[in-house]
């Protein structure tokens, strides 16, 4: 029988408490987290992509050191159809390699993976996928249309974790927004010269 997974996709530049909350929800739902570290093919730059794939993976491991997490090297494509198709191929390969099950067909992936996303309005976007225009919605809408179950997780789950900012804001104001980071991540970022 195939295992069940919860997928979160993002750049995680850096991984903050909102992302952490989604991974927690995935585990509370009894699923194995899949974390797609997006934009891994992009050149590193101080303003948008300061952390490498391995650095982001290391930060997440600081928060979840003993959790069975599947990491996927996410690649950006200008075309959403190509992005989706390539992600399906990567998921099939990675899950088959790690779990020796047959995740090679799309129906097995649909039955095995739940797509998680946040509820922040700032993350809504407009794009075209499979000739359909999407307006002011989350990209995860394409997964719903492709037959995947999706779940929305509130980024503001407690009064002391007001995640109304995003990772860009944290990059530009680390000291002012360090409360949005797990302390272990903050310390590591400081060690890396942030």
DSSP character for 121?
Answer: G
Which residue, chain included where needed, has tokens 């952490």? 20
Q: Give pLDDT < 50 ranges for the chain.
A: 157-158
Q: Strands, DSSP E only, in the chain?
A: 5-10, 32-37, 70-73, 113-118, 125-129, 132-137, 149-153
Q: Which residues, listed in sequence order, are joined to residue 82 by a DSSP beta bridge?
A: none
Helices 53-63 and 17-28 sit at what angle, rounded to 10 degrees?
60
What integer pLDDT is reported at residue 101 of this predicted model?
Answer: 79
Burial of 155 (0-12, 13-18, 19+ CB in 10 A): buried
User: Residue 161: its pLDDT value, please?
Assistant: 52
- Give CA–CA dist 8/116, Å, rounded: 5
Q: Which domains does the chain show, CATH number per domain?
A: 5-191 (3.40.50.620)
- What is the DSSP secondary-structure string of 129-171? ETTEEEEEE-TTHHHHHTT-EEEEE-S--STT----S-HHHHH
Q: State the Cα–Cα distance between residues 77 and 66, nearest whole angstrom.
A: 32
**CA-to-CA distance for 123 and 47, rounded, in angstroms?**
18
Predicted local confidence at residue 100, as pLDDT? 81
Which tokens sit at 36? 């797609």
The pLDDT, as a whole number, for residue 4 is 96
pLDDT of residue 51: 97
- Tens of pLDDT, residue by residue over 103-142, are 988 999 999 999 999 887 778 899 999 999 999 999 999 9
Residue with tokens 């992005």: 83
């Amino acid at each position: 029988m195939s295992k069940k997974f919860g997928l979160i996709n993002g750049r995680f530049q850096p991984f903050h408490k909102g992302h952490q909350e989604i991974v927690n929800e995935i585990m509370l739902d009894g699923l194995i987290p899949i974390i797609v570290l997006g934009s891994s093919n992009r050149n590193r730059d101080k303003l948008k992509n300061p952390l490498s794939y391995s650095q982001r993976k290391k930060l997440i491991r600081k928060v979840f050191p003993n959790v069975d997490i599947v990491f996927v090297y996410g690649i950006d494509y200008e075309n959403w159809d190509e992005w989706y198709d390539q992600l399906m191929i990567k998921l099939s390969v990675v899950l088959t390699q790690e779990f020796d099950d047959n995740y090679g067909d799309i129906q097995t992936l649909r039955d095995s993976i739940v797509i998680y996303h946040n509820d922040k309005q700032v993350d809504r976007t407009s794009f075209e996928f499979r000739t359909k225009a999407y307006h002011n919605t989350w990209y995860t809408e394409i997964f719903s249309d492709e037959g995947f179950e999706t779940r929305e997780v509130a980024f503001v789950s407690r009064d002391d974790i007001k995640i109304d900012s995003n990772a860009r804001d944290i990059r530009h104001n680390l000291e002012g927004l360090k409360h949005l980071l797990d302390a272990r991540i903050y310390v590591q970022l400081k060690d890396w010269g942030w």
